[in-house]
């Protein structure tokens, strides 16, 4: 085994994007529809009725975007591949122009000294597969493995670090239980079935990649620390344990131990159904990840039901007893509490639990700073403070023994922020929606300074 991960001698830096959030060109060069095209077209799903049909037009402007990444001095570019661009129907007919696009993108990164790392599934499932049941259908996991082989056959000579899924918790529970993300189904416990099939898809794809000689197969999880408001309230502590099961242990249990634990099964009987979880599924998943991606934005504080106003993710924990999530100040523009100590704790705990090398594969903040000053600058001091605090938290976790190899900023460009449309901006580069002009914000310059090792004074 020869790992191509950053070696961890010092923290590596990168930036992340996702296909549907930046590419646009959703009907170009034979791309098939994805569940996000369909979902966004349904009234009331996405803020202001927006969609990703144009987004940042990165399908045409990727050279300019790679110039920005190279200019930042970032060593790594985490991008995702749109499944319906390379297999318009999810299986079968291959669209060579889609593969050509990612081929050009990978070369564009490498020619600038930037190492590309690919995520295979960042939520844009081909609509044809959703029509056959989506992630509630075991066949989708098998189709995902075939798609993985197709993409690896084309890019694997140059892309050495792979992630299967991005945040399968969102794909499963926001998509099939809460219905606030595509495909917008509100089917409660079906979320658990989707989670299992996503894990199975990961396991099948990881086996294909390993057989093909890949040494660095990962999965990117939005694990979260849960903090009970009253740690002496036994009932609340018990419910918090249930929430932790559905958010965190549903992935870590199979990946590390090859099993769903009893506490999880108590709230997710679907995962005890032998028709869903078949013999061999969990054994396939166990040990399948060589590294873990951790996406972190905020901690979650649990409280008695009714203690806080309804939380947008409240329906995303099927089977769990009623609970509320308290969000303290300060918050970012998307309403997420800012507390970098949650990242430090999560990295230390996750490394202890898994023993795997970790990368912070996403971290960043939405602030309403998308206005250009008259001198053409964007002075996003709040984002600089957020990033600085979280980079420091990552360094503290490393000092405490967590094997964290990289810190990857979410995100390069102001982009299509899922159900929030274009209203929440996370970019370190401002994008003018009228003409697509890219303008690096002050946070971009701060990161560039930080990477180059100079004393950054925001």
Binding site for ligand FCB (CB under 6 A): 18, 21, 166-167, 170, 222, 295, 362, 410, 417-418, 426
Catalytic residue among 23, 344, 362, 420: 362
Peptide bond before residue 330 is cis, with ω within 30 degrees of 0 = yes
Minimum separation from the CB atom of position 422 to ligand FCB (A): 12
Smaller CB distance to ligand FCB: residue 204 or 223? Answer: 223
Going by C-beta distance under 8 Å and a sequence separation of 6 or more, which residues neighbour residue 431?
Answer: 56, 413, 414, 415, 437, 438, 439
Q: Is the dihedral of CA 357, 83, 422, 57 positive or negative?
A: positive
In terms of CB distance, is 34 or 222 closer to ligand FCB? 222
Supply the minimum distance, in Å, between the C-beta of residue 124 and ligand FCB.
11
Minimum distance from residue 420 beta carbon to ligand FCB (Å): 8
**Parallel, antiparallel, or unpaired: how do β-strands 226-228 and 216-221 relate?**
unpaired
167 annotated active-site: yes
Q: Which is nearer to ligand FCB, 208 or 424 (CB)?
A: 424
Helix (H, G, I), strand (E, B) or coil at 427: coil
What whole-number distance in Å separates Cα of residue 207 and Cα of residue 140? 16
Rounded to a whole number of angstroms, the minimum distance from the CB of residue 288 to ligand FCB is 21
In the complex with ligand FCB, the residue whose CB is nearer, 162 or 426, is 426
DSSP of 260-279, one letter per residue? --HHHHHH-GGGG-TTTS-T
β-strands 404-410, 300-303 pairing: unpaired
Read off the DSSP letter of residue 372.
Answer: P
Residue 176 CB, shortest distance to ligand FCB, in Å, is: 16
Q: 277 vs 292, which CB is nearer to ligand FCB?
A: 292
309 is catalytic: no
Q: Among candidates 160, 143, 295, 157, which has minimal Cα distance to 217? A: 160
Radius of gyration of the chain (CA): 21
Active site residues: 167, 362
């Amino acid at each position: 085994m020869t790992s191509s991960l950053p070696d961890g001698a010092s923290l590596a830096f990168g930036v992340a994007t996702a296909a549907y959030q930046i590419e646009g060109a959703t009907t170009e060069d034979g791309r098939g529809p994805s569940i996000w095209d369909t979902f966004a077209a349904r009234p009331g799903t996405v803020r202001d009725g927006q969609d990703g049909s144009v987004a940042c037009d990165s399908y045409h402007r990727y050279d300019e975007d790679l110039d920005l990444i190279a200019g930042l001095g970032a060593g790594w570019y985490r991008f995702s591949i749109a499944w319906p661009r390379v297999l318009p129907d999810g299986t079968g007919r291959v669209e060579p122009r889609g593969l050509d696009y990612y081929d050009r993108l990978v070369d564009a990164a490498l020619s600038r000294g930037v190492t590309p790392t690919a995520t295979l599934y960042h939520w844009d499932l081909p609509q044809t597969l959703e029509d056959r049941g989506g992630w509630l259908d075991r066949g989708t996991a098998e189709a995902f493995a075939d798609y993985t082989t197709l993409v690896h056959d084309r890019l694997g000579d140059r892309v050495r670090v792979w992630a299967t899924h991005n945040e399968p918790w969102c794909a499963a529970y926001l998509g099939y239980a809460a219905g606030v993300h595509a495909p917008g189904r509100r089917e409660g416990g079906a979320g658990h079935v989707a989670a299992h099939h996503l894990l199975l898809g990961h396991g099948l794809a990881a086996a294909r990649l390993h057989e093909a000689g890949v040494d660095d197969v990962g999965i990117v999880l939005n694990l979260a620390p849960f903090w009970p408001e009253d740690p002496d309230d036994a009932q609340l502590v018990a419910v918090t344990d249930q929430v932790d099961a559905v958010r965190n242990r549903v992935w870590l249990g199979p990946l590390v131990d090859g099993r769903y634990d009893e506490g999880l099964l108590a709230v997710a009987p679907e995962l005890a159904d032998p028709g869903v979880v078949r013999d061999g599924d969990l054994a396939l998943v166990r040990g399948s990840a060589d590294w873990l991606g951790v996406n972190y934005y905020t901690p979650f504080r649990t409280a008695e039901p009714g203690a806080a106003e309804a939380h947008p993710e409240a329906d995303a924990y099927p089977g769990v007893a009623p609970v509320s999530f308290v969000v303290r100040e300060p918050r970012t523009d998307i309403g997420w509490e800012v507390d970098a100590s949650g990242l430090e704790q999560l990295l230390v705990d996750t490394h202890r639990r898994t023993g795997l090398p970790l990368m912070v594969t996403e971290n960043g903040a939405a602030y309403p700073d998308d206005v250009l000053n008259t001198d053409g600058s964007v002075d996003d001091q709040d984002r600089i403070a957020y990033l600085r605090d979280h980079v420091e938290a990552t360094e503290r976790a490393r000092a405490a023994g967590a094997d964290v190899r990289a810190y990857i900023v979410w995100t390069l460009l102001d982009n299509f922020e899922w159900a929030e449309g274009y209203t929440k901006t996370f970019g370190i580069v401002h994008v003018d929606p009228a003409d697509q002009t890219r303008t690096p914000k002050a946070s971009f310059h701060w990161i560039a300074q930080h990477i180059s090792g100079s004393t950054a004074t925001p």
